Chain A
Amino acid sequence: MQQYEPDPLSRAQLAAMRRSLRNGRAALTRRSLLRASAGGALAAGGLGALSGCGIPPASKTQGVSSEDHSAKEKEINFSNWTEYMDVDESEKHHPTLDAFTKRTGIKVKYTEDINDNVEFFGKIKPQLAAGQDTGRDLICVTDWLAARLIRFGWVQKLDPSNLPHAYANLSSQFRSPDWDPGRAYSYPWTGISTVIAFNKKALDGEKVSSVSDMLDNPKLKGRVGFLSEMRDSIGMTMLDMGKDPGKFTDDDFDATVARLQKAVDKGQIRRFTGNDYTSDLTKGDLAACLAWAGDVVQLKADNPDVDFVIPDSGYLTSTDNLLVPNKARHKTNAERLIDYYYEPGPAAQLAAYINYVCPVDGVRAELAKIDEDAANNPLIIPDKAMAAKSNAFRSLTPKEETAYEEKFAKLTGA
């Protein structure tokens, strides 16, 4: 038994695992809860609790303007997700950031301190709620959290005159989300496609081309995975049921949950996962699962058994967005950095490295120079057919958000 040697982990798996270990997207750790409860409770709550007055409403802090020190201080503090920026061979330098500094003289303090949306919200909430500087000039969060931050008035309106490239080159697909019409507050860093991934070996001849196949094929019982992100799992199932995740009602939502609940009760769905589905999929413990396309591109490169399919009913696209929080000291510098990444050159360099959907138009030629395959990969640069199938999950009112998250939590076992 000790002779057993599991397959060595691939680079992509390691990266994904590292990400989920450091609380990858949607993954959880004991640290996140500890930090959120202890840190958050202390910082925001200590005094409030003693006086017994609770938490002030979020809207109270709206409209906090800030002084821009960009001209005097040539620097910017940029918080991003782990593994979300190009690195050179030594893994110490970020070539695109270095080029930006060289051109503008603006030093970028790049921190990979975002590992999970909900955790990061817990981290910045106390400062933003109190109308204080978070010490960050630029943050990158997924669209639903961006929507929440905009709703609370915790981020600053961007100045279009500093964003000529961004304005010109943003893909039409991402131009006007319902939570930020005309991109007044945010610009996408990457697009994230949610697709169906599968392991050919584990499928053993079964075919999976839709969410229905995942939910109904008895041969896949206990080997199907969904995502713990409510919008991804519900949205993909809605599409499969012929509903539009862009405009649905409470009843539609309940019907979708009921459909998934049936599969949970039957034992069809093995788990609702965060980033850790990547290792389950390559091992074959999961035969098919919902997956983020950026991961699949990497997994596929390392394991020929892993592949993906885009259901005929369509797939879900979300975005990770750059925002400037209230009281940020270097707003103009931040805007210049956003604009820089909307130039085809830097955008291509970034896309070639991180393998997510590039939100910038006119990058294909530049990308082909670096990586021919990536340029032709519809998961990185969507072609027309691909873009036509893309759907966005509509933004939710605060009440809906709570109610839906609660129903989804019950579905996943609470």
Chain B
Amino acid sequence: MTTVTEAPPLAPTPVEEPRRPRRRGRHVPYWLLLPGILWLLVFFALPMVYQASTSVQTGSLEEGYKVTWHFATYWDALSEYWPQFLRSVLYAGVATVLCLLLGYPLAYLIAFRAGRWRNVILVLVIAPFFTSFLIRTLAWKTILADGGPVVGALSTLHVLDVTSWLGITAGERVLATPLAVVCGLTYNFLPFMILPLYTSLERIDGRLHEAAGDLYAKPFTAFRKVTFPLSMPGVVSGTLLTFIPASGDYVNADLLGSTDTRMVGNVIQTQFLRILDYPTAAALSFILMAAILVMVTLYIRKSGTEDLV
């Protein structure tokens, strides 16, 4: 204010003066972005370029690898390992749906009903992260052990007969079957579903519920017409955060599964480290990335939400 009154109206210089700070301000965001961009460039973009190049190379460790634009690797990898791809999508999909079914009521409870327990429950949701991913997965081997209480109870209730008939368990055991892998995936990625759901539910104004009630909406109608649509951003980001890592996961399939539950992550790992077929491993990674990208794009389009969280 004072600068405006003090500035002589006819001199040309003051016109430039207010511009200078604005120009400097324009650059600030870029400087703030710089560390992040550099980080991504070095640790994401560069390896991506390298992997892309690897996927079209041919050769062996002995003779070295040369870029020969051998795109057939992609086709070979896909035709050879499509069952593992399908399985990954299927397992990750089922695990995501299970996470949503388990996570939504819990997130709802934390957001609207938990009262003073809210923080305690939130901490409990995050608590598994204090242990390593591997230990958490190994713990499931104890929980689902053949002679353990879970398998015993399921067997007595004849649940295992049904699951066995469906082909998701084998005989009187749960470990080393598809069911165990899906359970592991669901458990390990559940917090990634609950947290975004909670943040978007928590933002919903409680008075909207009251308004819905005032307009004679039954509780379920209020949920269907008000709460759920408003929580869509949470649902979308939750499913993405669950589905994407789950479809690339290989630890659960390795520790809880068997030969017929291997996912594409296992194939990539074997190709990369054991068989030393770097081009196929790289090609598989890119196919997986592309597949996920396509599915995610379709999903976001369909769900019709702009915001994530």
Contacts and interface: CB of A to CB of B under 8 A. Distances in A.
Interface of A: 1, 4, 6, 17, 21, 28-30, 32-33, 36-38, 41-42, 45-46, 48-50, 52-60, 118-119, 122, 152, 221-223, 230, 264, 267, 269-272, 276, 279-280, 283-285, 398, 402, 405-406, 409, 411-414
Contacts of B229: none
A21 B61 contact: no
Contacts of A413: 84, 258-262, 266
Contacts of A29: 134, 251
A52 B53 CA distance: 7
Contacts of B18: none
Given A17-B138, A45-B50, A49-B46, A409 B275 contact: yes
A1 B149 contact: yes
A119 B272 CA distance: 10
Interface residues of B, number: 63
Nearest to A403: B275
B59 A270 contact: no
B143 to A, nearest CB: 9
B81 interface: yes
B145 A283 contact: yes
A284 B49 contact: no
Contacts of A405: 274-276
Contact of A55 (B47, B65, B132): B65
Interface in B225-264: 250-251, 254-255, 257-262
B71 to A, nearest CB: 15
Given A46-B50, A56-B64, A414-B81, A280 B170 contact: no
15 contacts: A21-B134, A42-B43, A53-B66, A54-B64, A55-B59, A58-B64, A221-B171, A222-B170, A271-B176, A271-B259, A284-B147, A285-B147, A285-B175, A405-B276, A413-B262
Contacts of B261: 413
Q: In terms of DSSP, what is the predominant structure of the interface of chain B?
A: helix
A263 to B, nearest CB: 10
Interface of B: 42-43, 46-47, 49-51, 53-54, 57, 59-67, 81, 84, 132-135, 138, 141-142, 145-150, 153, 170-171, 173, 175-176, 250-251, 254-255, 257-262, 266-278
Contacts of B141: 279-280, 285
Nearest to B270: A409
Contacts of B150: 1
A42 B259 contact: no
Contact of A270 (B134, B176, B271): B176
A6 B142 contact: yes
Given A52-B53, A269-B259, 17 more contacts: A1-B150, A29-B134, A33-B269, A41-B50, A42-B42, A45-B47, A49-B46, A54-B66, A59-B62, A222-B170, A230-B274, A283-B142, A284-B147, A398-B60, A405-B275, A406-B275, A414-B266
Q: Is the interface of A mostly helix, strand, loop or mixed?
A: helix
Contacts of B54: 41, 45, 49, 54
A49 B148 CA distance: 51
B50 A49 contact: yes
Contact of B251 (A30, A48, A119): A30
A8 to B, nearest CB: 11
Nearest to B285: A37
Nearest to A125: B61
B64 A52 contact: no
A412 B254 CA distance: 10
Contacts of A409: 267, 270-271, 274-275
Contacts of A38: 43, 47
A21 B135 contact: yes
Contacts, number: 164
Given A38-B47, A54-B57, A21 B176 contact: no
Given A284-B146, A413-B262, A402 B57 contact: no
A165 to B, nearest CB: 35
A285 B259 contact: no
In order of increasing CB-CB distance, the 3 nearest A-B pairs are A57-B64, A413-B262, A49-B50
Contacts of B268: 33
Contact of A118 (B138, B251, B274): B274
B176 A222 contact: yes
Among the interface residues A37, A50, A53, which one has the most CB atoms of the partner chain B within 10 A? A37
Contacts of B254: 28
A199 to B, nearest CB: 11
A37 B176 contact: no
Contacts of B278: 55
In this complex, which of A33, A271, A413 has the most chain B Cβ atoms within 10 angstroms of its Cβ? A413
B146 A37 contact: no
A32 B251 contact: no
Given A38-B43, A267-B170, A402-B275, A4 B266 contact: no
A38 B47 CA distance: 7
A36 B233 CA distance: 35
Nearest to A151: B62
B65 A37 contact: no
A398 B269 CA distance: 19
B285 to A, nearest CB: 8
Nearest to A45: B50
Contacts of B67: 52-54
B134 A54 contact: no
A336 B66 CA distance: 42
Contacts of B260: 413
A414 B138 contact: no
Contact of B47 (A41, A48, A53, A271): A41
Contacts of A60: 64
B208 to A, nearest CB: 39
A135 B102 CA distance: 50
A283 B147 contact: yes
A402 B54 CA distance: 17
B251 A285 contact: no
B62 A58 contact: yes
Contact of A57 (B49, B63, B147): B63
